[in-house]
Amino acid sequence: MYGKDASPCDITASSNDDRRAKRMISAIHQSSDELREPAPELRQYAIPGSAEKIRYRDSWLFFRRRAGRLLVNFREASRSKLFLAVVCGRTAVAKPTMHTVLSTAALDGLMTQALVEFPTPVMITDDAGTILWVNQALCDLSGYAAAELLGHTPALLKSGSQDGAFYQQLWNTIRDGRVWHGEMVDRRKDGSHYIAEEVVAPLRDEQGVVRHFLAVQHDITERESRRKREHYLAYHDLLTGLPNRAMLQDIAQKAVAGAMRSEQLIAMMFLDLDGFKSINDTLGHYIGDQLLVALAERMQSGVRHSDTVARIGGDEFAVLIPSLENRATAAPLAQKLLDTLARPFSLRGHQFCIRASIGIAIFPSDAADVESLLRCSDRAMYQAKLLGGQRYRFFEPGTTQDPSDAPETDQVAPARVPPLPDVNS
Torsion of CA 354, 359, 363, 369, to 10 degrees: -100
Correct CATH for 104-224 of 3.40.50.300, 1.20.120.80, 3.90.800.10, 3.30.450.20? 3.30.450.20
Does residue 390 come out as left (phi exceeding 0), alpha (psi in the -120 to 50 range) or beta? left
236-405, which class in CATH?
alpha beta
The pLDDT score that the predictor gives to residue 112 is 76
The pLDDT score that the predictor gives to residue 106 is 75
* C-alpha to C-alpha distance for 296 and 239, rounded to whole angstroms: 10
- The answer to whether residues 14 and 3 touch, using CB atoms and an 8 Å cutoff, is no
Catalytic site residue from 186, 315, 366, 378 = 315
Per-run averaged pLDDT (10 residues), the chain, 425 residues = 33 41 50 40 39 41 42 35 29 48 71 80 95 95 96 96 96 95 97 97 91 95 95 96 97 95 94 90 91 96 94 96 92 95 90 94 96 96 95 86 42 37 37
* C-alpha to C-alpha distance for 329 and 423, rounded to whole angstroms: 35
The pLDDT score that the predictor gives to residue 101 is 62
* Residue whose C-alpha is closest to residue 189's, from 237, 147, 222: 147
pTM score:
0.61
The pLDDT score that the predictor gives to residue 51 is 39
Where do runs of H (alpha helix) occur along 238-369?
245-262, 277-283, 285-301, 330-342
Decide: residue 138, CB within 10 A, 0-12 exposed, 13-18 middle, 19+ buried: buried
Whether 236-405 and 104-224 are alike in CATH topology: the answer is no
Decide: residue 220, CB within 10 A, 0-12 exposed, 13-18 middle, 19+ buried: middle
All structural domains of the chain with their residue ranges:
8-96, 104-224, 236-405
Task: Answer yes or no: 315 catalytic.
Answer: yes
- The answer to whether residues 293 and 239 touch, using CB atoms and an 8 Å cutoff, is yes
Report the DSSP pairing between strands 210-219 and 122-126: antiparallel
Q: What are phi and psi of 175, to 5 degrees?
A: -70, -20
The helix (H) or strand (E) run that includes residue 224 is: helix 221-235
Give the angle subtended at the CA of 145 by the CAs of 142 and 148, to the nearest 5°.
Answer: 100
